[in-house]
Every structure is written in structure tokens, then in C-alpha cells.
Amino acid sequence: MSNKRPLKFTLVDMVVVILMIAAISVFFSRMGRILYYHWEWGRIPSYFFFWDKITGELKANILAKGFATTVKLSIWAMGFGFLLGTVSGVMGARGSWGQRLVSRIYVETIRNIPSLVLLIIFYYFVSSRFLDALGLDQYLREAPAWIRQVCGFFLTGPDRINAFMSAGIALGLYEGAYISEIVRGGINSISKGQWEAGRAIGLSGKNIFRLIVLPQTFRKVAFPLAGQLISAIKDSSIVSVISIQELTFQGMELMNTTFLTFEIWITVAVLYFILTFPLSRTVSFLEKKYALKQ
């Protein structure tokens, strides 16, 4: 028999929905009366896409470009954070004394530093010192057109590549500290019986960990990791302070030039919601589905 309960829409639910709609309506109504704010939603679509009068093509505008940069930065930061966090988590759970110490120092240091401070430190150290010395931006400027196009599609242009990479590294380090604890907890949750069963069939310690423990660990921590991905998307908004042209930065630039304060920030909030809500609902659905099979 299924444990799934049927959804019921009660009178209380109806009252709550009506009150929410009424509160939103009152907010927008009072906004216009008290602040004398004139809503201009009709101007917002043009900041996503516009028709180029010269080429006659539909091109992405400032908000669409910022949205794309946010997606790219989140993916790169989460990828780096996942690799770093997995290594740190394994070291913290199964490593030697020295490896556990290194993992603990990394996790405790990063988790107790504000993400904004970490980002600024990496921007002025990694971008201004290390990446500038490598000359990556100069190489891309002199590279063939197809290399610049590929780099622009997956990362960003030569002018902002150093700042983009330093932001991605800083966010990856920040997210990796939390992923490390998720992975470490997942490994420690595997019962000793799994290790004993592996030894009973003649597997070495490394093969037991690689073939038995690690797959079960990632199955257990898949949903917390997905939740951390959602957090990475939201945390990416802080990179606006170092002029990375992601969604929040573009929103601020657009607000300063158009003075469409509420329209811009409500639109930005909706765009973040569009990114994170489907992910959160997918994770919730899979988590419930997996729980029912247990």
C-alpha cells in the first residue's frame, strides 16, 4: 500500500491564499499612493532581448547576459567545490592524522570567514597577483577567434576572465567546505558491516572504499549536495562587488541608469527564483520518491 496521502484543499488553505493575494494587492496599491511610484513594467522586456537595427537580429540584452553569467559562474563554482569538498571529505573521514588535520583546518577556516571577505581576498590576491602573472587575459586577446568564442561561451571574455576565475575559485572554496562536511558525514554513516562484508569476499581496503563505501555515500548525500547547488546559485550574487557582470550586478547597473528600482529588483528576484525553485522541487520530488522505495 502506498503511504502517499491525498492532497486536500481545506477552508483554512483557501483563507491563507486569499490573505496572501490581498496582502500583495495592498502592497502594490499603497506603493503607488504613498511613494507616488509609477510602475513601468512595459520597459522590462527590452532589457532581456532587443532587435539590432543594423543586422536585424534578436540579441541578448543586459538582464539576459547577467542571467547567463550567473548560471555559468554557479556551475563552475559548484564543480570546483564538489571536487575539493569530496577530496576534503574523504580525507576527513578516512585519511591519516595529517590529512584529517588539513581537512579540519580548511573546513573550520572557510566556514568561519564571511563569503564576501573571502571573495575580496581572492580577488585582490588571485586575480591581481597570480592570474595577472600568468597572462591568461593577454593570451585570450591574442588567441584565434574560435578560442575567444569558446571561452566566452563557457566562461567570459578576456577583459573579465581573471576576475571571473578568482570569483569561481572563491565560491568553490566556500561551497567546498560545506560539501566536505556532507561527504564526511555520509562516509561515516556507512556501517562497519559493509567493510567487513568487503573483506569477507577478499577485497582490499581501497577497493572496499571505492566499490562499496563511496557509491553508497554519494547515494545518501545526493539530496544535500543538490541543496548545496541551490545555495551556490544564491551565493553567486555576492560577486557583484568585484564587478562580475552577473545578474545582481547588471540589475544594479540597470537600476542606476533607468531608476526602475522596484521593477528591476522584483525581476531579478524572479529570475533567481526561476533558477532555484525547479531545482528545489526536483530534489524534493526525488527525495520523497526515494524514501517511499525504502
**Residues 76-86: pLDDT tens digits?**
998 999 999 99
pLDDT the model gives residue 9 = 61
pLDDT digits (tens, 9 = 90+) for 135-165: 778 888 888 888 888 888 888 888 888 888 8
Better-scored residue on pLDDT, 288 or 46: 46
pLDDT the model gives residue 52 = 78
- Whether 31 maps to a domain, the answer reads no
| pLDDT exceeds cutoff 80 at 28 | no
CB-based burial of residue 185 (10 Å sphere; 0-12 exposed, 13-18 middle, 19+ buried)?
A: middle
- Whether 293 maps to a domain, the answer reads no
- Whether 23 maps to a domain, the answer reads no
The long-range contacts involving 158-163, CB below 8 angstroms and separated by at least 24 positions, are 160/243, 160/244, 160/245, 161/131, 161/136, 161/137, 162/127, 162/128, 162/131, 162/132, 162/136, 162/137, 163/123, 163/127, 163/242, 163/243, 163/244
- Whether 12 maps to a domain, the answer reads no
Query: How far apart, in whole angstroms, are the C-alpha atoms of residue 117 and residue 125?
Result: 12
Reduced to 3 states (helix: H, G, I; strand: E, B; else coil), residue 259 is coil
Better-scored residue on pLDDT, 88 or 228: 88
* Mean pLDDT confidence for 90-94: 90
Better-scored residue on pLDDT, 282 or 85: 85
pLDDT the model gives residue 34 = 61
pLDDT digits (tens, 9 = 90+) for 218-241: 888 888 888 888 888 888 888 888
- Whether 90 maps to a domain, the answer reads yes
Domain span at 241? 64-250
- Whether 10 maps to a domain, the answer reads no
Which CATH number characterizes residue 232's domain? 1.10.3720.10
- Whether 3 maps to a domain, the answer reads no
| pLDDT exceeds cutoff 70 at 290 | no
- Whether 279 maps to a domain, the answer reads no
Q: How many domains does the chain have?
A: 1
| pLDDT exceeds cutoff 50 at 1 | no
In this structure, are residues 221 and 183 in contact, taking their beta carbons and an 8 Å threshold? Answer: yes
Cell digits for 238?
A: 555576492
Better-scored residue on pLDDT, 38 or 200: 200
Better-scored residue on pLDDT, 267 or 54: 267
